[in-house]
Each structure stands twice: as C-alpha cells, then as structure tokens.
Amino acid sequence: MIREVARIEIDPVDTERFEAAVAQAIPHFRAAEGCRSFRLDRSVDRLGQYWLVVGWDSVAAHVDGFRSSSGFQAWRALVGPFFVGPPDVDHVETALDGF
C-alpha cells in the first residue's frame, strides 16, 4: 500500500464548511477501486492548512484510476471551490515503522 499525502490550503473562514464538504465526499473514496483508507488532518500550527492522507493499493490506483473517475469529479466539485491554490501532492511508502 502507498499513501497519497496532499497538502491543501483554504481560507480559514471556510474551515467548518470545508470539513463538512470533505465528510460529504468520503463515500466517493470508499467506492473507489484500490482505495484503502481516508483521513483528513488539520494543522494546529497554520490555520487553513490541511493534509489529506489516502491509502491506495498503488500510485496507479490513485492517478490512473481515481483521477479518471466520476468519483474524482464529485470530490473536486465538493471541495475544489475551497482551495486557495492547487494541492501539493506526494505519494509515500513506509520506510521505517519505528513504534
């Protein structure tokens, strides 16, 4: 499994509405092929900064599969209007699982 890590910035005044929109979009990830887990983290240092952490079977499941799907379009329709810039996306694998 790999994890998509996406840093998302929104206007802090939209915090509640953004989190509600993300919650509403969860079924689109749950239905996505190869999607294993979904979490939204909120920065406590920088208001309006979020980290989306989504587990996928592979990078392809995310990039080739999900991004071409209607689920992705639904996700972006819900949350895209809150983005103040393009999300900064990385894909990671565990190098060391300390404890």
Per CB under 8 A, the list member of 14, 38, 76, 87 interacting with its own copies is: 38
Mapped onto helix, strand or coil, the DSSP state of residue 8 is strand
Contacts with its own copies by CB under 8 A: the residue count is: 34
Query: How far is 67 from 75, CA to CA, in rounded Å?
Result: 10
Q: Under rule CB under 8 A, which residues in 67-96 are in contact with its own copies? A: 89-96
98 scored as a contact of its own copies (CB under 8 A): yes
How far apart are alpha carbons 28 and 41 in whole angstroms? 18
For 72, phi then psi, to 5°, come to -65, -45
Site residues, its own copies (CB under 8 A)? 2-3, 5, 19, 22-23, 26, 29-30, 37-46, 49-51, 59, 89-99
